[in-house]
Chain A
Amino acid sequence: GESVGLHLPTLSVQEGDNSIINCAYSNSASDYFIWYKQESGKGPQFIIDIRSNMDKRQGQRVTVLLNKTVKHLSLQIAATQPGDSAVYFCAENMEGGTSYGKLTFGQGTILTVHP
């Protein structure tokens, strides 16, 4: 049968390495960009977001970079741990009007961390 990861990009890293996950978005009018982590059998979990008027935002062990010129978003995870293994999705949110809070998700990247 088809597995969850059959068509998703994959990234394999060693424990302790830094990971960089990339995402290209399409809507230049999006006001917020969000990274979600999804473990097998669970719903997406919010990691970090960034507003379109920023180019960098840091959280705990994670950094999100936004390049609006080329419509590119990246998530950097420092000192990657086995518990970080999951599928990571970027999502766009267009602020304003009645569409506030509606998210458009990207394809996702499978991150595998080897001990």
Chain B
Amino acid sequence: DTGVSQNPRHKITKRGQNVTFRCDPISEHNRLYWYRQTLGQGPEFLTYFQNEAQLEKSRLLSDRFSAERPKGSFSTLEIQRTEQGDSAMYLCASSFSTVSTEAFFGQGTRLTVV
């Protein structure tokens, strides 16, 4: 499978714990995006990278959230001291930084904070 891969697919954690998600983009894509999607809503932009540089962060990305893409390939999204409001689907997408708008999404990681 050469699409965008996200792990784990599901994560249940207790409130206050830290969690980390991984995204492996399509190999030749230099842009990588993180989105969050809650039930009944469309995905909301969190942050994106071009190669290893984090170019933009949404105001939705509180200080408890940190994303990295150390070698310009895979990316991790960490949430520290999770809260129940963090429960959502976390989606990763990748694309080329060209005139194409087609971003390919992964299957997402479903986070449940109990």
Contacts and interface: CB of A to CB of B under 8 A. Distances in A.
Interface of A: 2-8, 32, 34, 36, 41-46, 49, 89, 91, 93, 98-108
A101 B74 CA distance: 18
Contact of A46 (B31, B44, B104, B106): B104
B43 A103 contact: yes
Given A7-B40, A101-B31, A93 B101 contact: yes
Given A2-B39, A43-B91, A101 B33 contact: yes
A96 B94 CA distance: 17
B21 interface: no
Helix, strand, loop or mixed for chain A's interface? loop
A103 B107 contact: no
A105 B43 contact: yes
B107 A32 contact: no
Interface of B: 4, 31, 33, 35, 39-45, 48, 55-56, 91, 93, 95, 97, 101-108
Contacts of B105: 36, 43-45
A8 B40 contact: yes
A6 B41 CA distance: 10
B42 A106 contact: yes
Nearest to B3: A43
A45 B45 CA distance: 16
18 contacts: A4-B40, A6-B40, A34-B102, A42-B108, A43-B91, A43-B105, A43-B108, A46-B102, A46-B103, A98-B56, A101-B31, A101-B97, A103-B35, A103-B45, A103-B103, A104-B45, A105-B44, A107-B41
A28 B24 CA distance: 34
A35 B102 CA distance: 10
